[in-house]
């Protein structure tokens, strides 16, 4: 996972804070590069030129830091990526900061380093637009970005047009924030360095800033052009080819034992080399409010967590279905004192999300992504995997939440359809940016197979009875129990894949399964804000 920070200021180069540098290094430990330069307008002409000059009508100071977690290609490609490194610090070259994965472009799989591909593509289109005097280059660039499949956030500076472009993929699977300084400066970052003023970019198009120096005191106004959907026939490449076969785990699953993550683990078995282990990261918390009696009686608070019990059961199903695969259940036990020690860091990372529910969900993901726990023999173990699979998106696509059943009971299939459409429309705003910031803190990259563009496109066009079983006769599981209608498609898939009891697992929110909800004895609600007094 890569990290991005950029600042535009009219007066001077804004120093990059130590906090930002440290947070970006956590996200991308393989490389970090810092550039700064000034754009000025010379008195002698009416065109923008780069360089220093004592007589000018205004200037823009650009400061940028980008870090890299390298996963693709045969070498580390440092960022900001540019064609001419020497020209980069002078502002005489375009540059790209890329946080994410581009699986394919226009339906063709991308091989090698994807950030280089994206940079070269954007530079090529920007040059064509200038040479042809294109009136709306932002539209062409938005179409090019939308033709890439995969999760991403980026900042691209086009030195030919003196425009800065930025944005997130249309589902918002990667984090990108912005805020305004008191002097009108503009900050863009993957992570916040404080809890004041940061907002998430909407996942609704390409944003851009014209660095027009005709008015030196004007603000850096963000403009937007919407994405255009790619051709429906484009199927994205599901997994990246990384290196040579190894018995060491390169892939881990955020594993509660529920149907979504267990299916992902089972499908991973069909794709990975036979001698490669798969790590299943299961997190459980000591919650004083819930576990007081368990601890006093000598019972482990972690083994009493619902997700730990489900994970143990689902592990047996995976082992039975795929006996030759090495499945490693990593038991990540988090004492209450350790949660308290990391609480402030988690709150900083999730901002501008700032409710008790945000904290309880993020805490589970934060410690799970760290990947540090106990192996089967109770020895200490830390996953070497940099890629983490998440089942997020399955509930939104296939009707897995309790409110979906409630909507159906209230208003039938039409009410259910409206509820599903609402969930998909707000995915980027509700969850993904927040989750990206806490997972990436440990130099891990989360991937969401259920949010693959091709699968989302299919799910949105499929009829309700192809996805869930509300209002229809439900088949039976291996024990003769009628399947839950929620996410019926996945339940049938689990049965076909040999995951008997997994097919009828009920939906359980992560904060309740891992016992991060209401960690303190005082009464709180999930919607309650994390105020200064509570921090």
| Catalytic sites, residue numbers | 2
Residue reference for tokens 């954007």: 122
Helix (H) or strand (E) holding 285, with range, is strand 278-285
Cα–chain center distance at 192 = 15
Cα separation, 273 vs 267, in Å, equals: 12
3-state helix, strand, coil in the chain (%, to 5): 35, 20, 45
d(CA 265, CA 406): 30
Q: What is the distance between the alpha carbons of residues 496 and 484, in angstroms, rounded to a whole number?
A: 16
Q: How far apart are CA 253 and CA 371, in angstroms?
A: 10
Query: Which distant-in-sequence residues (6+ apart) come within 8 Å of 337 by Cβ?
Result: none
The contacts of residue 154 (CB under 8 Å, 6+ apart) are 4, 96, 97, 98, 99, 100, 118, 145, 165, 166, 167, 176
How many angstroms from the chain centroid is the CA of residue 238?
16
Structure tokens at 249: 């785990």
Long-range contacts of 530-534 (CB under 8 A, 24+ apart): 530/347, 530/354, 530/355, 530/356, 530/358, 530/359
**Collapsed DSSP state (helix, strand, coil) of residue 53:** coil
* DSSP structure class, residue 524: -
Cα(408)–Cα(417) distance, integer angstroms: 9
């Amino acid at each position: 996972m890569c990290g991005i920070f950029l600042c535009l200021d009219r007066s001077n180069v804004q120093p990059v804070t130590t906090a930002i540098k440290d947070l970006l290094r956590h996200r991308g430990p393989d490389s970090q590069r810092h550039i700064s330069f000034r754009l000025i307008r010379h008195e002698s002409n009416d065109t923008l030129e780069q360089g220093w000059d004592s007589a000018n009508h205004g200037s823009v100071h650009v400061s940028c830091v980008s870090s890299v977690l390298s996963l693709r290609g045969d070498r580390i490609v440092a960022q900001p990526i540019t064609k001419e490194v020497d020209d980069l610090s002078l502002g005489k070259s375009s540059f790209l900061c890329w946080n994410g994965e581009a699986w394919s472009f226009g339906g063709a799989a991308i091989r090698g380093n994807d950030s280089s591909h994206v940079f070269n593509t954007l530079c090529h289109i920007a040059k064509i637009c200038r040479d042809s005097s294109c009136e709306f280059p932002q539209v062409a660039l938005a179409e090019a970005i939308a033709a890439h499949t995969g999760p991403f956030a980026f900042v691209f500076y086009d030195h030919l047009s003196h425009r800065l472009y930025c944005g997130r993929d249309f589902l918002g699977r990667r984090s990108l924030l912005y805020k305004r300084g008191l002097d009108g400066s503009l900050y863009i970052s993957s992570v916040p360095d404080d809890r004041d003023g940061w907002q998430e970019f909407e996942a609704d198009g390409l944003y851009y800033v014209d660095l027009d120096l005709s008015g030196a005191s004007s603000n850096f106004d963000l403009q937007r052009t919407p994405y255009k959907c790619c051709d429906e026939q484009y199927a994205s490449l599901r997994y990246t080819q990384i290196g040579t076969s190894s018995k060491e785990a390169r892939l881990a699953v955020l594993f509660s034992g529920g149907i979504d993550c267990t299916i992902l683990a089972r499908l991973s078995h069909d794709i990975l080399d036979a001698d490669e282990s798969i790590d299943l990261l299961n997190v459980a918390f000591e919650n004083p409010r819930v576990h007081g009696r368990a601890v006093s009686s000598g019972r482990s608070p972690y083994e009493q967590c619902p997700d730990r019990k489900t994970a143990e059961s689902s592990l047996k199903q995976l082992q039975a279905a795929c006996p030759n695969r090495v499945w490693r259940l990593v038991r990540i036990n988090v004492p209450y004192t350790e949660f308290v020690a990391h609480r402030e860091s988690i709150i900083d990372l999730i901002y501008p999300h700032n409710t008790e529910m945000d904290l309880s969900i993020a805490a589970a993901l934060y410690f799970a992504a760290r990947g540090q726990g106990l192996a089967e023999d109770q020895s200490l173990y830390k996953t070497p995997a940099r890629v983490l699979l998440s089942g997020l998106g399955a509930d939104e696509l296939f009707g897995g939440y309790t409110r979906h059943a409630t909507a159906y009971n209230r208003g039938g299939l039409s009410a259910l359809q409206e509820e599903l459409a609402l969930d998909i429309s707000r995915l980027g705003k509700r969850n993904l940016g927040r989750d990206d910031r806490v997972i990436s803190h440990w130099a891990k990259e989360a991937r969401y197979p259920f949010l693959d563009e091709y699968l989302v496109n299919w799910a949105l066009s499929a009829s309700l009875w192809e996805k869930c079983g509300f209002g229809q006769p439900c088949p039976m599981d291996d024990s003769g129990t009628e399947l839950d209608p929620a996410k019926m498609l996945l339940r049938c898939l689990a049965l076909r894949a040999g995951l008997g009891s997994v097919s009828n697992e009920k939906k359980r929110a992560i904060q309740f399964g891992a016992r991060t909800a209401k960690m303190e004895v005082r009464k709180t609600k999930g919607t309650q804000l994390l105020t200064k007094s509570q921090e």
